[in-house]
């Protein structure tokens, strides 16, 4: 899985796209690994741009939970932004909206995280 | 197999409505009525039918006990939670005494919420009845006897009037029992649990409770999909939200509505029954969970045929 990155207002934005189902989850974990290794104090906050994600399964959500937990353990900043409406619903139904920092848009996230 | 009747649907510990819960239901009904008057009982009934289940009913509080109605002479029951008490009473009311019956009971595992109803299952005290307790745990008989012994219980196991037999089943192998093929499957749960797949010529029912699904284990996922394949009804442990199941309650041995939908969709199952409800959830929360699960099924369905989602409640009968 290729995860293009760019920096905006001091935030490292990672574009995620497509379907993150139980099979793609394994690749998603691998692709996130080097980015998470750098998600530490003194490095830019890591923000996943989810605008290109059409579907995420339980296995994909679990990868996010583990990533978030790892970042927190390293005292790094990790968040998600710009969920498509249906993906947003999946977050709410699974209660992931309660355990993951989610922002409505990249701009909203950068305003909070980039400062 | 013709029908499935749910006698106990609550997880972990039986619960009951409180006075406050009942009061809240009355207040919701009267608020919805908004001063209307009803000229006939039929008009009143019609109005009541428009109210949500969380106002007019309750999911109930008995722990796991599910009956599979085969239409044959022998009875099929999954687990002996506290729901076994009303089930036993219903059987006595239907068949009377003496009128010897055979009960096949399939035990998912030996945790107390799945066994506690056995001492209150009236048919076990009636001579002539035959009770066959099927399961995969080597200590099945020991666990059943343990709870009917002083100082835990006033009546000793030896007082059972019925003939009680134990059948230690082999997982992943179909056992032909009174016209139904029953295949147990090992599940991830403290002390192990087993799901059961019941197949008759025309219908398939899967009883899968107290099972945690590890989402990164693709081999086990495939095994589960095969176990659920083409089922007319999958009774599924949906005790936690997905977020709880993978974080704070990881390794607690239970699953979520989200995983239930995903596995049933992958398996091409026809109907999913949410089961083993969290004791802390009230009727409003369980009703909301059902609505959300239906919505999830709808938005993730793709081109597949629809999966019907229901939430099991004590007293619900489902026609297969
Ligand atoms: Zn249980
Ligand atoms: Zn258990």
| Full pLDDT tens readout for chain B, 320 residues | 999 999 999 999 999 999 999 999 999 999 999 999 999 999 999 999 999 999 999 999 999 999 999 988 899 999 999 999 999 999 999 999 989 999 999 999 999 999 999 999 999 999 999 999 999 999 999 999 999 999 999 999 999 999 999 999 999 999 999 999 999 999 999 999 999 999 999 999 999 999 999 999 999 999 999 999 999 999 999 999 999 999 999 999 999 999 999 999 999 999 999 999 999 999 999 999 999 999 999 999 999 999 999 999 999 999 99
Q: Is the ipTM of this complex over 0.90?
A: yes
Query: How many CB pairs lie under 8 A apart between chains A and B?
Result: 60
Nearest residue, CB atoms, A99 vs list B243, B258, B259: B243
B230 near B206, Cβ under 8 Å?
A: no
Q: What pLDDT shows up at residue B143?
A: 97
Secondary structure class of B185 (helix, strand, coil): strand
Handedness of CA B48, B52, B55, B61 (dihedral sign): positive
Chain A residue with the nearest C-alpha to that of B263: A58
Residues with CB under 5 Å of ion ligand 2 are B 111, 210
Question: By the CB < 8 Å criterion, does A62 face chain B?
Answer: yes
Q: Quick check: bond before A11 cis, omega within 30? A: no
Q: Which of the ligands is closest to the CA of residue B187?
A: 2
* H or E, element range at B105: strand B102-106
User: Under DSSP, is residue B115 helix (H, G, I), strand (E, B) or coil?
Assistant: coil
Q: Write phi, then psi, for A2 (nearest 5 degrees).
A: -95, 130
In this prediction the pTM is 0.96
Q: Return the structure tokens found at B158.
A: 């030896």
Strand order in the sheet with B65-69: B163-168, B130-135, B102-106, B74-78, B65-69, B3-8, B317-319
pLDDT at B72: 85
Q: How far is the CA of B254 from the centre of ligand 2 (A)?
A: 8
Gap between the Cα atoms of B252 and B241, Å rounded: 13
Domains of chain A: 5-113 (3.30.750.24)
Domains along the sequence of chain B with CATH: 3-17+58-319 (3.60.15.10), 19-55 (no CATH)
Instruction: Convert the pLDDT of each residue in B203-221 to its tens digit.
Output: 999 999 999 999 999 999 9
Helix axes B283-300, B257-267, angle to 10 degrees: 40
A95 contact residues in B (CB cutoff 8 A): 241-244
In angstroms, what is the span from residue B245 Cα to ligand 2's centroid? 15
Contact B61, B15 (CB under 8 A): yes
Whether B243 sits inside 8 A of A98 (CB atoms) is yes
């Amino acid at each position: 899985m290729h995860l293009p990155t760019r920096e905006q207002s001091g935030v490292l934005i990672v574009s995620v796209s497509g379907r993150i189902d139980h099979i793609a989850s394994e690749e998603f974990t691998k692709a996130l690994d080097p980015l998470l290794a750098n998600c530490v104090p003194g490095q830019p906050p890591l923000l996943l741009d989810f605008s290109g994600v059409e579907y995420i399964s339980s296995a994909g959500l679990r990868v996010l939970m583990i990533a978030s937990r790892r970042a927190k353990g390293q005292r790094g900043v990790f968040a998600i932004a710009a969920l498509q409406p249906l993906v947003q619903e999946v977050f709410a139904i699974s209660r992931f909206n309660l355990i993951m920092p989610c922002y409505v848009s990249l701009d909203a996230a950068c305003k909070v995280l980039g400062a | 197999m013709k029908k499935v009747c749910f006698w106990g649907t609550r997880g972990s510990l039986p619960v009951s409505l409180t006075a406050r819960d009942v009061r809240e239901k009355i207040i919701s009904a009267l608020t919805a009525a908004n001063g209307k008057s009803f000229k006939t009982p039929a008009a009143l009934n019609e109005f009541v039918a428009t109210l949500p289940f969380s106002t007019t009913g309750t999911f109930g509080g008995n722990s796991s006990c599910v009956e599979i109605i085969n239409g044959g002479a022998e009875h099929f029951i999954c687990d002996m939670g506290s729901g076994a008490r009303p089930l036993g009473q219903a059987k006595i009311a239907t068949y009377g005494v003496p009128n010897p019956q055979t009960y096949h009971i399939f035990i998912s595992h030996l945790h107390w919420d799945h066994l506690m109803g056995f001492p209150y299952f009236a048919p076990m005290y009636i001579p002539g009845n035959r009770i066959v307790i099927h399961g995969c745990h080597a200590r099945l008989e020991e666990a059943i006897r343990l709870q009917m012994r002083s100082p835990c219980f006033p009546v000793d196991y030896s007082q059972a009037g019925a003939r009680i037999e134990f059948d230690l089943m082999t997982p992943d192998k179909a056992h032909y029992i009174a016209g139904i093929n029953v295949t147990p499957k090992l599940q991830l749960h403290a002390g192990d649990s087993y799901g059961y797949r019941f197949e008759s010529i025309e219908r398939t029912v899967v009883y899968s409770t107290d099972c945690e699904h590890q989402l990164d284990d693709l081999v086990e996922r495939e095994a589960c999909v095969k176990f659920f394949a083409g089922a007319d009804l999958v009774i599924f442990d949906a005790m936690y939200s997905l977020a709880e199941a993978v974080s704070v309650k990881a390794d607690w041995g239970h699953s979520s509505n989200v995983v239930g939908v995903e596995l049933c969709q992958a398996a091409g199952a026809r109907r999913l029954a949410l089961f083993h409800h969290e004791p802390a959830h009230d009727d409003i929360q369980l009703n909301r969970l059902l609505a959300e699960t239906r919505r999830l099924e709808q938005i993730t369905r793709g081109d597949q045929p629809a999966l019907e989602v229901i939430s099991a409640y004590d007293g619900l009968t489902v026609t297969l």
